[in-house]
Chain A
Amino acid sequence: MELSEILSTALEALMLNKMRTALATLGIVIGIGAVIALVSLGQSSQMAVQSQIQSLGSNLLTVMPGAQSSGAVRGASGGGTSLTLDDAKAIMTSPQVTTVANVSPELSRRAQVVAGGNNTNTQILGSTAAYADVRKITVASGRFIAQQDVDSMGKVAVLGPQVVSDLFGDGANPIGQSVRINGMSFRIIGVTASKGGSGFMNQDDIIFVPLTTAQKLLFGVDYLGSISIAAKSEQVMSQARDEVGYFLLARHKLSNPMQADFTIMSQEDMLGAASQITGTFTMLLSGIAMISLLVGGIGIMNIMLVTVIERTREVGLRKSLGARKKDIVTQFLAEAIILTVVGGVLGMILGIMLSYVVSILMSLPFTLSLTSVLLAIGVSGGIGIIFGLYPAQKAAKLSPIEALRFE
């Protein structure tokens, strides 16, 4: 038979049972759509986190209070009290530490902020002027926290662009106005340039205040949340890490590195820890995707098997009229391929649209994984073809009469 003949026969057979065709296609669409959307969501968030950490700069070291335990998780909680402003000053000024370019002591908490009628919950970061240099922050308008603000415990604030739009509306210039943090009034002196990021890594959803103000006036503590250190270059990173580590051990009168009451992490360590977390997340999503694929596959299988009696009889009839085994197999294969291709294309469109919408809603980068697309199409298509061919294979073993009488 010619190709056009094969296709039209297959299409006619598919139209004969529209419900079966629709449900099988739906199974394929759901399987493929879910896999593409979920895997892409996982990868997007992974990429987002990685690019955030990478944007920190490759010469950045972060000292956190608390002992080294499993990766960043413990340190990141910032619960320890072992680091002080004096530690930070000493690292900067000590002649023993030669590879450090700048030191930024930091204390960060979340707090409720109010301006005018609006309020939001955001991250309050107490810092010194060094923060802008170490973390590569630029100011879009006004100025950043200066040394004199820290010295005078000034009630001034620099807002991230997200906070500006949350409190004052998009594009507003809040400089000179005031904002209340934990009930205390702060004068806005600057707005930082957008650094991007999203969700729990949004670097624009932040308010900077002088470190001393944060410690004494806002949160009533005298320790630091962390110390960010810029090494002189990427090449001296490990040397800088060692210098700072031994220097702090000595300052804290600890003889054994195992007893360290702080943790030093490089960007690479954080990437590792973060990708462990986001990797687990991606695995979880992939797991759900696999289940969707399986459910879709079982759906396809079921619908193919439910009609096996009618299809077997159809095979018997066609054979009794002179169809060769080859004609039958070709027809059923063509049917399965049409189903798979139509379902596959629809599923891909659905999956891509879903990933796109989700990436916009969660302001994540939009990614597509070719592997997941191929895997999904392979699995659904394979199931579609195997179970599509099943009645043909089954009927091929029977005489036309046995197939016609099949039940």
Chain B
Amino acid sequence: MIKVDNISKIYSNDSVETIALSNISFGIEKGEFVAIMGPSGSGKSTLMHILGALDTPTSGTYILDGKEVGKLSDDELAVIRNKKIGFVFQAYNLLPRTTALKNVMLPMMYAGMPREKRVNRAIELLEMVGLGNRINHTSNQLSGGQQQRVAIARSLAMNPAIILADEPTGNLATVQGEEIIAIFQELSDRGHTVVVITHEPPIAEHARRIIYLRDGEIVEDSTNHKHRRVKRGDE
């Protein structure tokens, strides 16, 4: 489903070159639940942005569902970002001064979904992440953890085949974090592909596969045999 081949990303600002990723290659099959780990600055977010078709690698190819992403038109990329991939940003990236409901509705608006359906689905998703009583709060009226959950609800809006989450539990209490991970696990069980960046080993334990990055390179890519399963509502 996802296949990256020899991907590098080099940032060059005023004569300083930062190699964020160097010659990375791997594949992810449909329905896999992958955790990406590694120290801060190791290139996890950079890799995730490329997988999300939000940024382009400096070199190398990225093949998504058999299509080379680098060769897609702007409009084709828009459709992928809209329908195929749900992205949870490390910094949430909610529209400022806008209600949780409207934020979650945005991807559905660009998909051309009828308004009534959008509202219903957005409410449903916000209830699922435990924000049923906060739908009309604007981004700045929500705590970090609440904003993070709005971002997760938004990423699920179009029921995407691939969910990419950049430290989605970083600002959540352990219980809430487990809830979110359970949602991802459930999606993975239903055939969605889930890739999660995390710093927390307990969270990573839920994944069947862990990719370790350091200084822009993959240092370990292991199948996690002792991965833990939680059911929603447990604990």
A interface residues with partner B (beta carbon < 8 Å): 1, 5, 9, 12, 16, 310, 314, 317-327, 399-402, 404
Contacts and interface: CB of A to CB of B under 8 A. Distances in A.
B154 A321 contact: yes
18 contacts: A5-B109, A9-B109, A12-B102, A16-B95, A16-B98, A320-B87, A320-B93, A321-B81, A321-B82, A321-B106, A321-B110, A321-B154, A322-B81, A322-B82, A324-B75, A401-B49, A404-B89, A404-B93
Pairs A-B, 6 closest by C-beta atoms? A322-B82, A401-B55, A322-B110, A324-B78, A400-B54, A321-B107
Given A319-B78, A321-B107, A399 B56 contact: yes
B197 to A, nearest CB: 15
Nearest to A403: B54
A322 B54 contact: no
B10 interface: no
B78 A322 contact: yes
B74 A402 contact: no
B96 A16 contact: yes
Contacts of B111: 322
A326 B110 CA distance: 11
A322 B55 contact: no
B112 interface: yes
Contacts of B98: 12, 16
Contact of B55 (A16, A310, A323, A399): A399
Interface of B: 49, 52, 54-56, 74-75, 78-79, 81-83, 87, 89, 93, 95-98, 102, 106-107, 109-112, 154, 158
Contacts of B54: 320, 399-401
A326 B75 CA distance: 9
A12 B101 CA distance: 13
Contacts of B82: 321-322
B12 to A, nearest CB: 13
A67 B49 CA distance: 87
Contacts of B79: 322
Contact of A402 (B55, B93, B95, B112): B55
B78 A323 contact: yes
B56 A318 contact: no
Query: Which of A5, A12, A323, A400 neighbours the largest number of chain B CB atoms within 10 Å of its CB?
Result: A400
Contacts of A314: 95
A399 B70 CA distance: 12
A339 B83 CA distance: 33
Contacts of A9: 109
B95 A317 contact: yes
A319 B53 CA distance: 11
Contact of A320 (B81, B109, B112): B81
A332 to B, nearest CB: 15
Nearest to A9: B109
B7 to A, nearest CB: 15
Contacts of A320: 52, 54, 81, 87, 89, 93
Contacts of B75: 324-326
B40 to A, nearest CB: 17
B113 to A, nearest CB: 11
Nearest to A322: B82
Nearest to B110: A322
Given A321-B81, A322-B110, 6 more contacts: A1-B109, A321-B154, A322-B79, A322-B107, A324-B110, A400-B55
B52, B75, B110: which has the most chain A beta carbons within 10 Å? B110
A98 to B, nearest CB: 87
Contacts of B89: 320, 404
Given A12-B102, A400-B55, A327 B110 contact: yes
Nearest to A324: B78
Contacts of A324: 74-75, 78, 110
Contacts of B49: 401
A331 B83 CA distance: 21
A1 B112 contact: yes
A136 B135 CA distance: 80
A219 B148 CA distance: 93
Nearest to A327: B110
A324 B72 CA distance: 13
Contact of B110 (A12, A310, A323, A402): A323
Contacts of B106: 318, 321
B18 to A, nearest CB: 14
B20 to A, nearest CB: 12
